[in-house]
Amino acid sequence: MKDIQSSADHRNIPLREAGISDLKYPITILDREEREQTTVADISMSVSLPHHFKGTHMSRFLEVLTSSGCRFTGSTIPLVLEKLKKSLEAESARIRIEFPYFLTRSAPVSGATAKMSYSCAFTGESHRDREDFILTVTVPVSTLCPCSREISDAGAHNQRGYITMDVRTRKAEDGTFVMMWIEELVEIAETSASAPLYTILKRPDEKFVTEQAYNNPVFVEDMVRNVAEKLMKDPRITQFTVTAHNHESIHNHNAYAVVAWKELDQAE
């Protein structure tokens, strides 16, 4: 059958990316406690397209994905990217896998347990001269305003916040990216806020977390700095961006702060 996609294009315009997006697909990822966890991801895959090709072969993205076994880590994603480049005759390839990750959380006093979800993503890129892998984790937290507590005779306003960490780790000797657990980033975020969030809380738990937040007030600026301090001490990490958003409870706007760090910055 005639292959139109591989036919010549005469407009002399290369494409940085061409591929598929918004693919819902079951995947398996590593779980620190349960070894493996199956979830449903939203996947985007693309490759560069030389100026002389009319189109890319979209079906090959699915072929590469299914042949990978849909088990994804910092070790397996570089292999998937290499297969994409080879199968589609491309100089570069990109994949982004967004998924909910579930942890069993126990309430601090009653011990009541329930699953809690965290929004996560793996982003991988492979070019002729470099490879990149980013682990993204977004953690919902509770924050209490230091200024409000200081000036109020009773109470202080608090709100739900979200801390997003985009983390790059260094490469191991075998060329794969050093492993970092999603659970580790969840713990870093929660200990950088006023208090963690839980799916289920009984009355004694509610009292505990309310008082915990009151005794640990933080601005949105404090949160990103608290996270940054912890991440900079981890020898596995070479670069990160931390973004925090507070869904303000007494304003008709939100507050946010961002900090970025790169290992080379410290040497300059």
Mean pLDDT of the chain: 91
Residue 15: strand pairing partners: 49
Q: Could you report the per-residue pLDDT of 59-71, keeping only the tens digit for each?
A: 899 999 999 888 8
SS3 call for 17: strand
| Domain residue spans of the chain | 15-267
CATH topology of domain 15-267: Urate Oxidase (3.10.270)
Q: CB of 107 within 8 A of CB of 198?
A: yes
267 has pLDDT over 60: no
Q: By mean pLDDT, which of 116-125, 171-180, 244-253 is the weakest? A: 171-180
Q: Show the DSSP H helices in the chain as ranges.
A: 58-67, 77-88, 146-151, 182-190, 203-214, 220-232, 263-267
- Rounded to two decimals, what is the model's pTM? 0.90
The predicted model gives 218-245 an average pLDDT of: 97
Q: Could you report the per-residue pLDDT of 138-151, keeping only the tens digit for each?
A: 999 999 999 999 89
